[in-house]
């Protein structure tokens, strides 16, 4: 279960990284849109016909965006290319993010399932431990009884032969045992 939790933590970290990168790319796109939407005025303040469409990007023949042409602004072309690369990177990151979120949801579901199974196994193990404790106490009682029986058996074996063969006692001892006195 710890392995699954570490996978979930890694996936969470990856999703946070992707969101941060996506946010950064969105900010870059916003800046690029502002740069491209600016209209350049001539020194006398009149709008040039070419500059009217500066804020608009015209799709090229294959449907891809073509950078606007602004005189004296070669950096706009490089910014536009950077923006296009960042945009495609952002799309791939967003796709990765959605896949990671899906994997994260699957991992969480698997974690819940495994957690439930672990809980059930712990419950069963607790029952086994209780049963083992009962068996252990029964076994201890049986061992105690066995020890007592072995001791009683040994005592009986020792006393039984002594009763079968009476020891020769002097007559005076027998008389005293019966309560009579011996006269001399």
pLDDT for position 65: 54
Of these ranges, 58-67, 94-103, 117-126, the one predicted with the greatest mean pLDDT is: 117-126
Model-level pTM?
A: 0.39
pLDDT at 127 over 90: yes
Provide CB contacts within 8 A for 15, sequence distance 6+: 97, 100, 101, 104
Mean pLDDT confidence for 8-13: 78
C-beta separation of 87 from 29 below 8 A: yes
Query: Cβ of 92: how many Cβ atoms within 10 Å?
Result: 11
CA–CA distances in Å: residue 121 to residues 82, 107, 110, 117: 56, 20, 16, 6
């Amino acid at each position: 279960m710890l392995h699954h939790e570490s996978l979930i933590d890694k996936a969470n970290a990856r999703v946070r990284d992707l969101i941060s990168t996506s946010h950064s790319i969105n900010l870059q796109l916003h800046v690029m849109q502002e740069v491209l939407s600016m209209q350049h005025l001539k020194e006398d303040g009149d709008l040039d016909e070419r500059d009217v469409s500066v804020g608009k990007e015209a799709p090229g023949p294959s449907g891809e965006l073509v950078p606007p042409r602004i005189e004296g602004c070669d950096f706009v072309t490089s910014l536009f290319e950077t923006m296009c690369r960042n945009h495609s990177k952002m799309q791939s990151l967003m796709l990765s993010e959605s896949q990671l979120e899906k994997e994260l949801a699957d991992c969480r579901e698997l974690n819940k399932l495994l957690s439930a199974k672990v809980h059930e196994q712990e419950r069963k193990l607790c029952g086994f431990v209780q049963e083992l404790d009962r068996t252990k106490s029964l076994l201890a009682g049986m061992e105690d009884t066995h020890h007592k029986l072995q001791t009683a058996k040994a005592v009986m074996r020792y006393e039984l032969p002594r009763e079968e063969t009476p020891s020769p006692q002097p007559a005076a001892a027998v008389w005293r045992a019966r309560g009579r006195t011996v006269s001399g």
